[in-house]
Structure 1
Amino acid sequence: MQTVKDWLELEKAHDSGIYTKHEVVIVRGKGARVWDSAGQEYIDCVGGYGVANLGHSNPYVVEAVKRQAETLMILPQTLPNDKRAEFYDTLQGVLPPVLSRYFPCNSGTEANEAALKFAMMATGKRKFVAAVRGFSGRTLGAVALSYEPKYREPFGPYGHSVVFVPYNDVEALKSAVDDSVAAVFLEPVQGEGGVYPATPQFLQAARQITQEKGCLLILDEIQTGMGRTGRVWGFEHFGVVPDLMTAAKALGGGVPIGVCAMTAEVAEKMPKGGHGTTFGGNPLAMAAGVAAIRYLQDTRLWERSAELGREFIEALRSIDSPKVREVRGLGLMVGLELGEPSAPYITRLEQQHHILSLAAGPRVIRFLPPLVIEKSDLEQVVQAVRAVLS
């Protein structure tokens, strides 16, 4: 029988080495909790980097995947499929009518790659404006939009140019957007960059400026979508509708999925064969997506996220510690910024209190719990944070 040490050694021996591994082997999850190979239970505030909004092994999604796996798992998009059509129709039910055309793929960075290409073809331009601290993925197109130098600089130059402006700085955005820009690319809440919500003035200005300059507004809802921020989509807080929107993570309820949603005007500028994907839009992922969206609609989990998020943020702010610099977030997308590196505290939360959290930059502890998490679990998280900071 394999031991914890065996599993760890096997994974580390064959892994590419690009991830810093925890010294634990997680083997099972249910709702907002996961268990390691020794049977130890953890409150999961990592949530698969924001994938597990509906909870681990959500029974509604599990049943849909089982049924579809027995029916048909793979089919290219050249062959129409009932589940793909159903996914499109279900997705349209939670999006503004103008975002009516979809390119399904397998991940968030693939969705952002698609958005870049569709924007280039729609405008005939190859310059983009993105935000300081923004993160859009690590593939060669999307990584150019990711501000952190360690992600971006080793792989340039790129076939498109990106100008970075300070997040929430309207005047800087006005200065950066000119007639040569294809699109402005923003997150409604910056996740990897430190959990910084946009101001309404900034996103509303982005919408107005792009319309005035004849370029596009692309919003990255990969982490903010599917109820995470207290609305179905983060942009709903700000009263704006983008020309393109990317989604992934929680959209498949745990199954790999991505989508670039866009207006018909944008979609029609891409020539046949201008972009493609082998696995994107496969019936298995489409069935998972239908189940995930319908479960979200039936349970209205975004309302739970809004309520629990407000209480969680207030409770974290009540912690009396000189180490806490700021607590910020929207819904159950929460960041606690410290005046020192956060990594030791993330480790202590795991090892001493069996709570999983993650970093967002060097000084921020980020919490992305499943939206089904119990209030008592969040109270336990606050107690643990208070303890490790003391």
Structure 2
Amino acid sequence: MASSLISRRFALSLQTNLWLSAPGCRYVSKAAPKTQLEYDYDGPSMKTSVPGPRSQALTKQLGEIQNNLPFKPEMDSVTLVRSTSSVTMRRAEGTTWWTWTTTACWMSTLRSRPSQLSTLVNRPALGILPPENFPDKLTESLLSVSPSGMTRVQTMACGSCSNENAYKAMFIWYRNKERGHNMPSDEDVSTCMINKAPGCPDLSILSFNGGFHGRTMGCLATTHSKAIHKLDVPSFDWPMAPFPRLQYPLEEFTRENAQEEARCLEETEDVIVKWRQKGNPVAGIVIEPIQAEGGDNHASPDFFKGLRNIARKHGCAFHVDEVQTGGGATGKYWAHEHWGMDDPADIVSFSKKLLTGGYYHKDELQADKPYRIFNTWMGDPSKNLLLAEVLNVIRRENLLEEVTRSGKALLNGLYDLQAQYPGILSRARGQGTFCAIDICDDATRNSILLKARDKGVLLGGCGDRSIRFRPALIFKEYHVHIFLNIFNDVLAEHK
């Protein structure tokens, strides 16, 4: 039953299909060892031009009901998922895509057992009336993969509300420290009702250039990836520090990258001091282990260790945002595990691949009164059922080890293509299958994305001119080689 959550394996008949027979220079790639196949899958199937007429009609219909501006009709935008596969998508025209953009979610199903029906059909208000089995289900799912040093988890609905409430938890913790954990004063209580200090204190969250933490009001103040997210929306006066801009390949620029990270750490500490002096002290620091939306920007474990020490030194909570990186794509459940730290964070937020939102936190960041961290739903217990089954499959099939193997093959293949097309590609980088490569300019990137789409492969962009690769955890090495051949065909058309 759990195996239906994640599709098994692709058939190797892909190379005989029409979509792989387009003329062009082929990437020289040795097929990986073949494994027993449990069901047939014959690859992307392009039934119409993109967008197809059915998709255009459905997109228009939906646009008359709600905002559909984020949709991309050229991507055949209306999805009908008829498969349990997390690597393919069935579109409205009957087209089947091979998707390399699965960071955002799992597409999974669960055959309901009688004992699960109540959870699946009821959605309780978890903050006040959680179901009887909720503690057990949290233990089976989220707490079974909790980050080092954390035994508490607060569920939420999405990534933005996870970060928003994590920020609130950091502010509450910071003010309780300042009061010596005494009760709020009458002045605190009265002034907070009119948005004035000291009840609404002048505190801040420090974030990093290029970071993305969500689109709600507090999160937007810490998001610095694209102007479209922030334009016309008022923001808090909160500080921003530089994120390292590393040179690749890393082994050739060890000294330069160490200097760059040292510069960023020094500037970060200077910003914290400056904001305290101006009367707006930093209560917490938020950072992604890999800046995904901002361009797949990496930093070394030493950088994050240094940042953790700065947070301790200045009494700031340290919040690691794993909304995009959590869930196994880097070869570990949490990208920050690659830092090798026993005490990596005070708060770790999650969503997307974890199916539910929320954040792990240390005991001292537990809210001290009811309704301080609260909303109607505070998550959805049915998602914990799904997550528990997904985690069972990951463990049983050793998928994190699979990610490490296929990620190495993918990154090595990107290095080879980068050498073959130096005028187009640069800065190949990645951890596990969480990989990216830069394109020479934005126009070329958009053309490559469209041509890959026309061959049945969905890729995504990030940053100013990067393409990011987010294959499912079940991708094998031979899937990587098949993809590299397709990607080479696309690049050959731009040579």
Tell me the TM-score normalised to structure 1 length: 0.89
Q: 1:64 to 1:174 in 2, by over 3 A?
A: farther
- Per the alignment, residue 355 of structure 1 pairs with 457
Corresponding pairs, count: 375
Match of 1:265 among 364, 383, 386: 364
Is 1:106–1:280's contact at 8 Å kept on the other side of the alignment? yes
- Per the alignment, residue 162 of structure 1 pairs with 239
Q: 1:116 to 1:308 in 2, by over 3 A?
A: same
Determine if the alignment matches structure 1 residue 234 to structure 2 residue 335: yes
Cα deviation, residue 66, structure 1: 8.6
Determine if the alignment matches structure 1 residue 40 to structure 2 residue 95: yes
In 2, Cα distance between the equivalents of 1:118 and 1:276?
11
Q: 1:386 to 1:65 in 2, by over 3 A?
A: farther
The AA in structure 2 aligned to 1:157 is S
Q: 1:346 to 1:298 in 2, by over 3 A?
A: same
- Per the alignment, residue 84 of structure 1 pairs with 134
- Per the alignment, residue 68 of structure 1 pairs with 116
The AA in structure 2 aligned to 1:122 is W
Q: In terms of Rg, which structure is larger?
A: 2
Match of 1:366 among 464, 468, 476: 468
Cα deviation, residue 50, structure 1: 3.0
In 1, Cα distance between the equivalents of 2:86 and 2:229?
32
Is 1:129–1:165's contact at 8 Å kept on the other side of the alignment? no
Q: 1:117 to 1:279 in 2, by over 3 A?
A: same
Determine if the alignment matches structure 1 residue 314 to structure 2 residue 419: no
Is 1:191–1:360's contact at 8 Å kept on the other side of the alignment? yes
Task: State the Cα deviation string for residues 236-277 of structure 1 (Å, max 9, x = none).
Answer: 00023200000110112xxxx201110110114x42111212
- Per the alignment, residue 141 of structure 1 pairs with 218
Task: State the Cα deviation string for residues 204-228 of structure 1 (Å, max 9, x = none).
Answer: 0111111111111100111111111
Cα deviation, residue 357, structure 1: 0.9
Cα deviation, residue 20, structure 1: 4.0
Cα deviation, residue 291, structure 1: 2.4
Identity among equivalent pairs (%): 21
Cα deviation, residue 297, structure 1: 3.1
After TM superposition, list the pairs within 5 Å mapping 1:216-295 onto structure 2: 216-240=317-341, 241-252=344-355, 257-268=356-367, 270-295=368-393
In 2, Cα distance between the equivalents of 1:62 and 1:120?
39
Which is strand-richer, 1 or 2? Answer: 1
Structure 1 residue runs of 5 or longer lacking an equivalent are none
Is 2:409–2:480's contact at 8 Å kept on the other side of the alignment? no
- Per the alignment, residue 270 of structure 2 pairs with 175
Determine if the alignment matches structure 1 residue 389 to structure 2 residue 491: yes
Q: 1:303 to 1:21 in 2, by over 3 A?
A: same
In 2, Cα distance between the equivalents of 1:388 and 1:237?
33
Q: Which moved more, 1:178-187 or 1:135-144?
A: 178-187
Determine if the alignment matches structure 1 residue 93 to structure 2 residue 144: yes
Q: Please state whether the residue corresponding to 2:111 is helix, strand or coil.
A: helix
Determine if the alignment matches structure 1 residue 26 to structure 2 residue 79: yes
Structure 2 residue runs of 5 or longer lacking an equivalent are 1-52, 176-201, 245-260
Q: Please state whether the residue corresponding to 2:448 is helix, strand or coil.
A: helix
Cα deviation, residue 143, structure 1: 1.1
